[in-house]
Amino acid sequence: MRGKKYLQVAKNRYSGDLGIMALEFDKAGLSYASKKKKKITEKGEDDETKDHQPSLHL
C-alpha cells in the first residue's frame, strides 16, 4: 500500500487556520485534488458533492 498524499497548511494569512488537506489522485487528469465529501440524500443514498477547488497539477 502506498502512502497517502496531503497538503499541509503551515500559515494562512487570511484566517490563521492551520491544518492538513487530504488529496486524491485523478488518473484521468493526472492531477491531485482535494478529496470529495459524500453527503446523504433524503432517500439515504450516497451522493458525491462537487468540490469546486482547483486541481493541483504536478
Q: Which residue range(s) make up the domain with 19?
A: 5-48
- List beta partners, residue 56: 32
- Would residue 15 count as lying in a domain? yes
- Would residue 21 count as lying in a domain? yes
- Would residue 34 count as lying in a domain? yes
Q: Per residue in 1-58, pLDDT tens?
A: 467 777 777 776 777 777 777 888 888 888 888 777 666 666 655 555 444 455 555 5
Across 1-58, the runs of DSSP E, i.e. the strands, are 5-9, 19-26, 31-34, 38-40, 46-48
- Would residue 13 count as lying in a domain? yes
Question: What pLDDT is recorded for position 1?
Answer: 43
- Would residue 35 count as lying in a domain? yes
Q: What's the total number of domains in the chain?
A: 1
